[in-house]
Amino acid sequence: MSSTANVYALLAKGEAYSLEDQLELLADVTQSFAESLEIEATLRNAIEKFMQYLDAEAASIFLLDTDTVADNPDLVCRACAGPVDISGLRLPGDTGIIGKTITSRCCQIVRDVSKDPDFAKQVDADTGFVTRSILCTPLIVRQKCIGALELINKRGGDGLFDDQDRHLLGALASSAALAIHNARMADRLVEQERMRKELELAREIQMDLLPAPGRDGFPVVGMNVPAREVSGDFYDFLRRDDGLIYFSLADVSGKGMNAALLMAKVSSLLHHLAREISDPGELLTRVNVELCESISHGMFVTIVAGFLDPASGRIDLANAGHQPPLLHHGDGSFEEIVATAPPLGVLAGCQFPVTTLKLNDSSLYLFTDGVTESLDENNRPLAVDGFIELVRAAEYGPAARRLQGIVAELRKPAVSQRDDITLMVIETDGDRRPDAMKTQQIFALHFRAEPERLGPVRALVKRAAQSFGCNETLADKLVIAVNEACMNVIQHAYHGDGSGEVSLEVRTNGTQVIFRLEDQADPIDLKCVQPRDLDELRPGGLGVHFIREIMDHCEMGHLEKRRGNYLEMRKAID
Amino acid sequence: MQYNSRNAGTYAVLDLKGDVDLSCSPDARKQILQCLEAGRHLLIDLSAVSYIDSSGVASLVEGYQTAKKKNLRFGLVGVSSAAMGVLQLARLDKVFPIHASVEERMSADG
């Protein structure tokens, strides 16, 4: 027979309990509390023991109902033992001896309830139980009273609870209060985890609402990076049967779940209507009417929506309260396409004027304020000018890659993202370069990644540089940069084993010379390619510094369609 | 690249010629370190260097550091404009002792 069982055996015989017995019980109960986060079962088990041990007829634990936010929360019986099951019983928070215990935060001993005006007779009347004496102690954790532990009708002796009972119950109550507190914390964690999972799921569903990327060269490319798990931004595009391409980019006011749900509604409505309606003004008018009827107070949607005729490059668009789209012309200049109408969901009867433009060799950028309100390292918003700088820096290459480049800049640790970031670019050929018409290839060659090939490559680069009018000094510098770039491929991408091929293409657009190197090596870790501090005198690591020092612009990355890396370097020429 | 070593007073002089690039910088490095291992003060004549890349520069840096450790004199002489351009890019033109010629270095030594 275990020692704890011993205690109960003694009790059953009605013998008085010793200090050791008390400690035994306390240890036993504390242990079972510590082991269990199933608080209801543990409390039921504990209250049974308390009742037996303290030789009472009935016992119960009442907790203040944390779900009621009233000043005076209800008391709910969470566990009980004895002839009457009152678990679940709900009483006003100030009821009876328990209410008094909680309010006073002091243990109450009532020897004869019939003489105590605080005693609530109603429970006895309802249950048929006859209460004579009560011992009730508050459950306090972190200075906060969360409920009370109550014993009713001492059986043995003179039928009255004494100070020894009070001390013991006080000790048991501390342990029970802590266990309840821990269990609640655990529940909260579980709940948070469940919410997190739900948000994750919501995000997945939401991501599924965004269109799949079009095939290479598709004129519309979009990207969305939510600030939270779910986003209030969206973009959409689809090619209609008649060849027109519908596109939209929008920002729902607010963030989080309600914005996400509204986003789902608006994007679905538009997606459906855009197959039938080819006038963006009418499209927005229809959706606006629907939203004004159903939208929650204070919510609205800013949006640019339109249609591209890919054959002619004609775009019709309408703007409901959104940031003006930005047209990046082939000559490098930028133009804001300003058109104003109120956001959707604000004014039921309003019209949305249509703007028509020809794309030609320009690119149209649509973006949300999450882009322009990103903060730079000095805590200043990026603003439209900052965005223009990013577009300029990522001027060349396929649209998807350019957007990735811009988003990567916005997500640098120094830049803090405050809102969802959503971007779209539209151009008649999603894979063209704005200056492609003007760039002219000087030469292209492939060579084995061997050091011995570097001499002839240098000779070719020098001759090419001279052919488009570079002076001697500049030509020599270009040779140095290209040579170092080739060396890096040989030594680092191919690890000096001479196994792979390198391709070098030299182009010019009249104002810049562009060198593009590609290899077929495994993707390199781009973070490792950094110029080093020159003050530190050591033999290696100069090449990247040379390239950065000589060239105006360098971009490197992994090739998209096959294994390999690229490095594109630009230098202005006179 | 071609190289030639000769003596000038207490110095060993290593003449490097042509393009010092990745295909031959390991040789240049070996020559430089051999001289220093033999305990010779070393001057490297770069007057006939038509091109030097970062691996060639790295060999010079290693030579300079090795000489320092061994308490040997080290210097570059007759640096060609091609080589000087690269040393300047690497901000090493102020780090290496550079003289117009072996003779000038020796008279500077006093």
Q: Which residue has the higher pLDDT, A353 or A370?
A: A353
Residue range A397-401: mean pLDDT, rounded: 81
From the list B21, B59, B89, the residue facing A454 with the nearest CB is B21
Residue of A nearest to B81 (CA): A473
Q: Which domain holds residue A32?
A: 3-187
Comparing A84-98, A395-409, A433-447, A515-529, the range with the smallest average pLDDT is: A433-447
Residue range A364-379: mean pLDDT, rounded: 85
Question: How buried is residue A271: exposed, middle or buried, by Cβ count under 10 Å (0-12/13-18/19+)?
Answer: middle
pLDDT at B71 over 90: yes
Residue range A73-83: mean pLDDT, rounded: 90
Q: Which residue has the higher pLDDT, A254 or A246?
A: A246
Q: How many CB atoms lie within 10 A of CB B91?
A: 14
Under the phi-then-psi rule, with left for phi > 0, alpha for psi from -120 to 50, and beta for the rest, what region is A280?
alpha
pLDDT digits (tens, 9 = 90+) for A456-501: 999 999 998 888 788 899 999 999 999 999 999 999 899 888 789 9
Residue numbers in A near B54 (CB within 8 A): 484, 487, 540, 542-543, 546
Q: Which residue has the higher pLDDT, A168 or A229?
A: A168
* CATH code for the domain of A270: 3.60.40.10
Comparing A218-227, A228-237, A446-455, the range with the smallest average pLDDT is: A228-237
pLDDT digits (tens, 9 = 90+) for A105-136: 999 999 888 888 888 888 888 888 999 999 99
Work out the pLDDT band at A33, boundaries 50, 70, 90: confident
Domains: count for chain A: 3
Residue range A46-53: mean pLDDT, rounded: 87
Q: Which domains does chain B have, with CATH numbers?
A: 2-103 (3.30.750.24)
Q: So what's the ipTM on this one?
A: 0.93
> Is A229 among the domain residues?
yes
Residue range A30-37: mean pLDDT, rounded: 72
Q: CA of A439, closest CA in chain B: separation in Å?
A: 29
Cβ contacts of A467 within 8 Å, gap of 6 or more = A442
Last residue of a domain, one of A365, A396, A426: A426
Q: What angle do CA A533, A535, A541 make, to 5 degrees?
A: 45
The answer to whether the CB atoms of A542 and B85 lie below 8 A apart is no
In this structure, what DSSP letter does residue A491 have? I
**Dihedrals φ, ψ of A232, to 5°?**
-95, -5
Whether residues A176 and A220 fall in one domain: no
Q: Which residues share a beta bridge with B12?
A: B7, B42
Q: CA of A452, closest CA in chain B: separation in Å?
A: 5
Work out the pLDDT band at A202, boundaries 50, 70, 90: confident
> Is A206 among the domain residues?
no
Residue range A233-251: mean pLDDT, rounded: 93
For chain A, give the percent of residues with pLDDT over 70: 91
* CATH code for the domain of A509: 3.30.565.10
pLDDT at A529 over 90: no
* CATH code for the domain of A40: 3.30.450.40
How confident is the model at residue A378, as a pLDDT?
A: 78
Residue numbers in A near B68 (CB within 8 A): none
| Tally of helices (H runs) and strands (E runs) in chain A | 14, 21
- For residues A72 and A65, what is the distance between their CA atoms, to the nearest angstrom? 10
Mean pLDDT of chain A: 85
- Restricting to A residues 456-515, those with a Cβ less than 8 Å away from any Cβ of B are 458, 473, 476-477, 479-480, 483-484, 487, 490-491
